[in-house]
Structure 1
């Protein structure tokens, strides 16, 4: 395993002086009022990824998403209409507000295909583009014009096959919001990677704390030591782990790291099952036979340091969408959906080029299972952190140079809340100003 020298203190953080170097105030992760403001200022204002176009393979394909981060009970439908356009609507009937699309349990997400949506309560019908097309016993109503009662739309746009929604009608276009990172990723063969493995967990911590866990590798030699063979664990414990590159562009950020074991130079460094299947935490060792994943084919945003040992890039699209690309030719996504100040739903999906034989399929499954074990280790610390910062015995914590993206995340969340409070004439006295948080 290669080890890179630790950069001088402040070598990354000094590039963004507006973030400062002072301890960060974590009251934003325990204050119920702050969470309510984040819900309004962030999750109702920012573009939120809800899935990929592969979930809508044909006209009439749809799926629903429960959106408690936006507001209690909020549910939406995402559907492909007759023109092939991906649309989104609030999941409620315009007659008496019944939930429109659900199966046995109204709180569960569903998917399928249909020619139209029909309400279970009074059989009002809606076309795939949201138009109201049928009212049961229409002559019983008083001057109702069906054109006035179509499904209420939610802004919906697609970037590189990723479907985003926004509950703010005045929000900037998606591509403008995603900015330079997204532009620099265009052309990556996301659409070739359609074999998926997904995990979902309810976590008793603030949503930002889990993002904190994934945007630094300072913890890796300690927290994940037992997952490595002894020789590697000893090296990591002695030398630590350093990423290759950090970058921040507006509200979004990224971290780039070397590849380690994909594949390892010495197969004795890894476990027997990994040697047999040529797979592990870093995914399958063998590159799939598709265009766009070789070093000289990658989009410009990938491996920004152009390091020969590059292994993965993690792009953090604010507020809650992580897109992580791995050198061998696969990727995964994380989503963090807050449901309260101290609770959120964590989702992860791994994407591979479909296997062509049994060994490749087992390699994918091993990568998915190995990832889950590491994620459990990361998540295991979160509830312990939440309970202790919740005591307010200490609320400010020092961050090292490798934790620059944590500093940026909390700074950005406060910036959105402060802007919202200013626009709505709310006092800032209850929270620290942006500069004070960092």
Structure 2
């Protein structure tokens, strides 16, 4: 499905005939029954990004991830050989959650030489092996080799840690990501270790928020400060520079001049004062030769690439830094949102201020997007309308909902056969 810049004639959508151009339904975002299908059809079958290797700086480092949509918890650890492993966060004795601090529903991280269950003291090595059983002689024919932690399939791409909750993944991580995403190999994600993290619980379906970042058709209306007055003029037109699909994944690229070329009225005063803001520091550090997957449409001048990795990960690559989004469903009309701005570590006070200003301004615009979501969810749940038109700039929205529907249909078909 991967295709390069659209030809001179025709629309983006028409060059992907398999997704159609008709009205679409958002029933997949309001139906409790469909959400239950998504749990199994998508989140127990797809590769899910749960973190970065920088969260595991040495042997024995670990963190937990609550994957509530799959009703499970995972512990990810750097083992004794330096590899990255993942296990279901469950003790083999009586099913107690193994790794947690004061509140079992909250995520945690740290360092240990082994994992010890709080309930009865069973101990497990960093490789998941059961090493110690309290009063082992009291058990009947207990073989500790049979009671190690249950492993979770875990693979790493470009420093991003992915897990797959299926008994046997249908594809390797590399094959699942496909050529459009893996063409980013070599991008220096590992150098961007100064992180600003935001988390929020939102009253909308996870796909509704993801839709907000798949098109920039909304920008002139919702974020008028971002664009010059001529773009805000009715009928003037506003379009991103490049859209591309590859399997279940998508990318949208923006073009545009550097931020400081805009007149002062198109940014906050703090942005001009600190020379930083929504698109990051004005003078971004060099990253060397970019990988071939960056700016796939060869846009000049290039602005941002937003790589949307199915099902719930987005990596937005700016000049010299990147932004990460994850959408974790918690019910058919709620989700947990995570955002992380990642910069190369500041070496001066000025650089640190630039990063902090970018994080604050980002939060402001993210709140503008998030502010729409409950209204969208509420209106969709009213059931007044069940079919909606999408324009050519919403090609990724159309594709995303089709992929979700296809994964659910495939699961239903295979489940019925079983």
Seen in structure 2, the aligned counterparts of structure 1 residues 306 and 417 have a Cα distance that, compared at 3 Å, is same
Seen in structure 2, the aligned counterparts of structure 1 residues 338 and 64 have a Cα distance that, compared at 3 Å, is same
Divergent runs of 4+, >6 A: none
Q: 2:360 aligns with which of 353, 365, 369?
A: 369
Whole-Å separation in 2 of the counterparts to 1:70 and 1:9: 44
Whether 1:76 aligns to 2:74 is: yes
After superposition, residues 127-146 of structure 1 pair within 5 angstroms as 127-146=125-144
Q: TM-score, normalised by structure 2?
A: 0.95
> Which secondary structure state, in structure 1, belongs to the residue aligned with residue 416 of structure 2?
coil
Aligned to 1:184: 183
Residue ranges of structure 1 left out of the alignment (5+ in a row): 1-6, 427-438
Seen in structure 2, the aligned counterparts of structure 1 residues 378 and 8 have a Cα distance that, compared at 3 Å, is farther
CA contact (8 A) 1:262 1:311 kept: no
Whole-Å separation in 2 of the counterparts to 1:365 and 1:241: 30
Q: 1:420 aligns with which of 411, 415, 418?
A: 411
> Which secondary structure state, in structure 2, belongs to the residue aligned with residue 420 of structure 1?
helix
Deviations 1:195-237 (A, max 9, x none): 0001111111111111110010000000011x448xx245434
Whole-Å separation in 2 of the counterparts to 1:153 and 1:125: 16
Deviations 1:40-91 (A, max 9, x none): 00000000000100000000000001111112xx111000001011000111
Whole-Å separation in 1 of the counterparts to 2:226 and 2:390: 26
- Aligned-residue RMSD, C-alpha: 1.9
Aligned to 1:38: 38
After superposition, residues 396-407 of structure 1 pair within 5 angstroms as 396-407=387-398
Q: 2:148 aligns with which of 134, 146, 150?
A: 150
> Which secondary structure state, in structure 2, belongs to the residue aligned with residue 69 of structure 1?
helix
CA contact (8 A) 1:334 1:349 kept: yes
Cα displacement (A) at 1:9: 9.4
CA contact (8 A) 2:264 2:272 kept: yes
Whole-Å separation in 2 of the counterparts to 1:188 and 1:228: 27
Whole-Å separation in 2 of the counterparts to 1:100 and 1:51: 19
Whether 1:98 aligns to 2:96 is: yes
Whether 1:279 aligns to 2:276 is: yes
Residue ranges of structure 2 left out of the alignment (5+ in a row): 1-6
After superposition, residues 10-29 of structure 1 pair within 5 angstroms as 11-29=11-29
Aligned to 2:308: 316
Aligned to 1:247: 244
> Which secondary structure state, in structure 2, belongs to the residue aligned with residue 64 of structure 1?
strand
CA contact (8 A) 1:157 1:165 kept: yes
Seen in structure 2, the aligned counterparts of structure 1 residues 318 and 138 have a Cα distance that, compared at 3 Å, is same
Aligned to 1:264: 261
Whole-Å separation in 1 of the counterparts to 2:324 and 2:256: 18
Aligned to 1:64: 64
Aligned to 2:157: 159
> Which secondary structure state, in structure 2, belongs to the residue aligned with residue 276 of structure 1?
helix
Whole-Å separation in 1 of the counterparts to 2:10 and 2:31: 30
Range 174-183 or range 301-310, more displaced = 301-310
Aligned to 2:326: 335
CA contact (8 A) 2:231 2:238 kept: no
Whole-Å separation in 2 of the counterparts to 1:198 and 1:422: 40
